[in-house]
Amino acid sequence: MSGTSMDGVDIAVIETDGVGVTGFGPTAYRPYTAEEKAAIRAALGRWPGDDGVAEAAAAVERAHAEAMDGIGDVVALGFHGQTLAHDPANGRTHQAGDGAALSERLGLPVVWDFRSADVGLGGQGAPLAPFWHWALARRMGAEGPVAFLNLGGVGNITWVDPNAASPDAPAALLAFDTGPANAPLDDLCRARGLGDHDPGGRRTAEGRIDRDGIAEFLRDPYFLKMPPKSLDRGAFDYLVEAVSGLKAADALATLGACAAASVARGMEHLPEAPTRMLVTGGGRHNAGMMASLRRLLPMPVEPVEAAGFDGDALEAQAFAYLAIRVALGMTTSAPGTTGVPAPVGGGTVSGALAL
């Protein structure tokens, strides 16, 4: 998996029958090089055939192939690709990278193109990790509803009823993108010459939050939309300019608080309050963002490691899980996760897959 933070490729091996998870295997990480990041960033917002897309796709395929070195024997690879553009309102989404080419290069069956079928049927095509969150909630033995909050470039939340018989059962899941998360903080760091991100959220935690800026941010019409709903990475690009008059630490603190405030606003849509909020994604390492979340939310807010899971691998694990569901003809999204009219199975299988 390579997400909207665009820092590199996470690899994770799981054992699953497409319903439960019976084991966790090795994990690995392959960072994008500076040249690869530049190629991908240059292609953001572009569609197949546009300038720079072929170069971005080649970088993505190369990085994913190299990330597999030393992983060992697996029956299939779930390949998400790198999202360059996402426009579900117009029935289109674009993840760079050719799964068929990757399959040929690795000599391994590859399951890919997870989002197109959902978008083509009127769904948001995102988020797609909720079915995996359901499996994790069952594995941890949760008795009441639990929420998983992924703080990547964009934030998304999954509310899980662990007592539901399957992830596509009515009311088993509700998921949607909450708002921006790390993307504006990372963009601000780059714009101000502070590196690619704020390590550990040190500056974010030290800064003073502009409360008026938060109030203005929450007037964005996105927060009036009912879920399911999803965002493109660049949907809140204006935030970096909105805090341009603040010193760096204050700007980062305000952007981190914006991410937390959007999660708190999103809680209004949940069927009932979850018993705990488990945070995954890079944002769980940001001390300032996590502190804002704990101030705003009434339930325990903990990194997923508190439940025994690996937050650095969880998104990659999700696409391994979905890959097996695709291979077995199972569903991968449902009305409560993407707004698709009925549960649907997406994905394309390249290469001979024997299960």
Alpha-carbon distance 244 to 181, whole Å?
A: 18
Confidence of residue 214 (pLDDT cuts 50, 70, 90): very high
Cβ-based neighbours of 150, under 8 Å, separated by 6 or more: 127, 129, 156, 157, 158, 181, 279, 280, 281, 314, 315
The alpha carbon of residue 148 and the mean position of all alpha carbons in its chain are separated, in whole angstroms, by 11
52 and 86 share a domain?
A: yes
Q: Residue 32 falls within a domain, yes or no? A: yes
Q: Residue 135 falls within a domain, yes or no? A: no
Residue-wise pLDDT for 253-276, tens only, equals 999 999 999 999 999 999 999 999
**Number of independent structural domains in the chain:** 2
299 and 320 share a domain?
A: no
Output the pLDDT for position 233.
Answer: 85
Is pLDDT at 5 greater than 80 in this prediction? Answer: no
Output the pLDDT for position 354.
Answer: 84
Q: Cα-Cα-Cα-Cα dihedral of 265, 271, 274, 277, to 10°? A: -40
Residue-wise pLDDT for 192-204, tens only, equals 999 999 999 999 9
Output the pLDDT for position 195.
Answer: 95
Domain holding 345, by residue range, is: 8-126+312-350
Output the pLDDT for position 117.
Answer: 96
Confidence of residue 228 (pLDDT cuts 50, 70, 90): confident
Is pLDDT at 139 greater than 80 in this prediction? Answer: yes
Tokens of 162: 């662990």
Q: Residue 346 falls within a domain, yes or no? A: yes
Phi, psi of 235 (to 5 degrees): -60, -30
What string of DSSP letters covers 21-64? EEEEEEEEEEEPPHHHHHHHHHTTT--TTSTTHHHHHHHHHHHH
Output the pLDDT for position 239.
Answer: 97
Output the pLDDT for position 190.
Answer: 95
- Tokens 């497409």 identify what position? 18
How much is the pTM?
0.94
Could you tell me the CATH number of the domain that includes residue 295? Answer: 3.30.420.40
Output the pLDDT for position 263.
Answer: 98
223 and 119 share a domain?
A: no
Paired with 8 in beta bridges are: 31
206 and 263 share a domain?
A: yes
293 and 329 share a domain?
A: no
Calculate what percentage of the chain has a pLDDT beyond 70. 100
